[in-house]
C-alpha cells in the first residue's frame, strides 16, 4: 500500500522508525529529509492528486501537542483535549475536513509518542482533581494504520495506569486485534463513527461497511470494552429520519446499552476557507448537493434545518438508545 516513505534525519535512528521500516515492504523507497515541511503541505501540492498514492512521512512533533476541545464538543469531561499522533487518513470521506485543511494527503506520523505523554502527564498534574478526557482520531483514524504506527501498544498501557485520564480512540476501522490483546479498563472508550449504510456507500469511500463496524463493536463489548457512538457529521438524505432510525435500531439490537459509554452527534460544518477549497477540488462531490449557509464564517446547515435534524436524531435515539448519555456537538 505504501510505496514511498520519507524520514526526517533527526528520527532515522529512532527505535520506532526502525520498527516501522521492518513492517513495510522491502521494496519501499526510503527518502531522507531535514524537515517534513519539505514534503508536507507545500503550496503547489494538490490533496486530491496525492490521495491516489500517498506516501508515509516519519517525523518528530515539536511544540504544542495537546489542544483544548471547544466547550460544546466534549462527552462529559471537566477538561477535554485532543492530540494528533498522525495527520491524514487512509479513508476518503467526501465530507472530511482534512482535504480542506491540508494541501498534502501524505500520512504524517509523529513518532515521538513519549513527548506526547509528557504533555499529558503535565495536564493531569495541573488538573489532578478533575476528570480529564483525551481524544485521539481528530486528524486521522486512530486504528486504520495501527499495524504500522503501534499506537495501541504504546498508549493503552499508559492510560491504564492513569485513572483520572480517559482516552477516546475514534475510528471507522475494523483493525481491533491489538486492542483485543489487552484487558479492558474503564477509562478507555473505543468510539466508532457512523452514517447510515446508503449514505456511507455514497460518500465514505474505502470505509468498512456499517455491518463490519457493528460486528467489531460486538467483539469489543464481549471482551468488556466500553463503546462510543459518533454520528458526526449528520448527513441529510431522502427519508432522513427513517434511515437514521434503521441505523440506531441495528446498533441497539447488537450492543447492550450498558456497554455504550456515550453518543455524540453534530452537523456538517467547515470554516469558510476550508469549505471553498473542498468544493474547488471536488467538483463532483455529493456534498455539493447539500444546502449550506455561511453562519459567522462557518459553512453549515441553516438554523431551521439544524433544529429539524436535531429533533429527529434526538427523537430516534430516545426511542432506541434512551439510556445512553447523548451529547450534541453544536457550533
Q: Which CATH number fits domain 4-329: 3.40.50.880, 3.40.50.2000, 1.10.3720.10, 3.80.30.30?
A: 3.80.30.30
Supply the DSSP string of 207-257, one letter for each residue. Answer: PPPHHHHHHHHHHHHHHT-EEEEEEEEE---TTHHHHHHHHHHHHHHHS-G
Q: What is the model's pLDDT at position 282? A: 83
Q: What is the pTM of this model?
A: 0.96
Other C-beta atoms closer than 10 Å to the C-beta of 69 total: 18
Residues in the chain: 331
Q: What is the model's pLDDT at position 178? A: 97
Q: What is the model's pLDDT at position 331? A: 81
- In tens, the pLDDT along 164-173 reads 999 999 999 9
pLDDT band (50, 70, 90) for residue 281: confident
> Do residues 221 and 256 lie in contact, with contact meaning Cβ atoms separated by under 8 Å?
yes
Instruction: Kindly tell me if the per-residue pLDDT of 1 is higher than 90.
Output: no
Question: What is the β-pairing status of strands 260-267 and 132-136?
Answer: unpaired
Question: What is the β-pairing status of strands 269-271 and 298-300?
Answer: antiparallel
- In tens, the pLDDT along 54-86 reads 999 999 999 999 999 988 899 999 999 999 999
Instruction: Kindly tell me if the per-residue pLDDT of 283 is higher than 90.
Output: no
- In tens, the pLDDT along 291-317 reads 999 999 999 999 999 999 999 999 999
Amino acid at each position: 500500500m505504501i510505496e514511498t516513505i520519507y524520514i526526517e534525519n533527526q528520527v532515522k535512528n529512532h527505535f520506532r522508525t526502525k520498527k516501522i521500516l521492518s513492517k513495510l515492504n522491502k521494496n519501499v523507497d526510503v527518502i531522507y529529509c531535514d524537515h517534513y515541511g519539505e514534503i508536507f503541505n507545500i503550496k503547489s501540492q494538490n490533496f486530491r492528486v496525492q490521495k491516489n498514492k500517498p506516501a508515509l512521512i516519519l517525523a518528530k512533533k515539536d511544540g504544542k501537542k495537546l489542544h483544548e476541545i471547544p466547550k460544546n464538543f466534549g462527552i462529559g469531561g471537566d477538561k477535554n483535549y485532543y492530540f494528533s499522533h498522525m495527520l491524514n487518513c487512509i479513508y476518503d470521506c467526501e465530507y472530511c475536513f482534512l482535504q480542506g485543511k491540508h494541501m498534502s494527503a501524505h500520512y504524517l506520523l509523529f513518532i515521538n509518542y513519549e513527548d506526547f505523554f509528557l504533555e499529558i502527564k503535565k495536564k493531569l498534574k495541573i488538573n489532578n482533581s478533575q476528570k480529564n478526557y483525551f481524544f485521539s482520531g481528530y486528524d486521522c483514524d486512530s486504528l486504520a494504520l495501527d499495524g504500522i504506527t503501534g499506537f495501541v501498544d504504546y498508549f493503552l498501557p499508559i492510560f491504564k495506569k492513569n485513572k483520572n485520564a480517559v482516552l477516546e480512540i475514534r475510528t471507522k476501522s475494523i483493525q481491533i486485534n491489538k486492542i483485543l490483546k489487552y484487558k479492558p479498563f474503564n477509562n478507555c472508550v473505543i468510539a466508532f463513527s457512523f452514517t447510515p449504510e446508503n449514505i456511507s456507500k455514497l460518500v465514505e469511500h474505502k470505509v468498512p461497511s456499517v455491518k463490519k463496524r457493528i460486528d467489531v463493536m460486538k467483539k469489543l463489548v464481549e471482551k468488556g470494552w466500553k463503546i462510543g457512538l459518533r454520528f458526526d457529521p449528520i448527513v441529510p438524505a431522502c427519508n432522513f429520519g427513517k434511515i437514521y432510525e434503521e441505523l440506531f435500531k441495528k446498533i441497539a439490537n447488537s450492543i447492550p446499552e450498558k456497554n455504550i459509554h456515550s453518543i455524540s452527534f453534530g452537523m456538517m460544518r467547515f470554516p469558510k476557507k476550508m469549505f471553498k477549497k473542498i468544493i474547488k477540488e471536488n467538483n463532483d462531490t455529493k456534498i455539493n448537493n447539500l444546502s449550506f449557509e455561511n453562519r459567522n464564517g462557518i459553512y453549515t446547515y441553516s438554523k431551521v434545518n439544524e433544529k429539524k435534524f436535531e429533533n429527529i436524531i434526538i427523537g430516534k435515539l430516545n426511542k432506541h438508545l434512551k439510556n445512553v448519555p447523548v451529547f450534541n456537538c453544536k457550533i
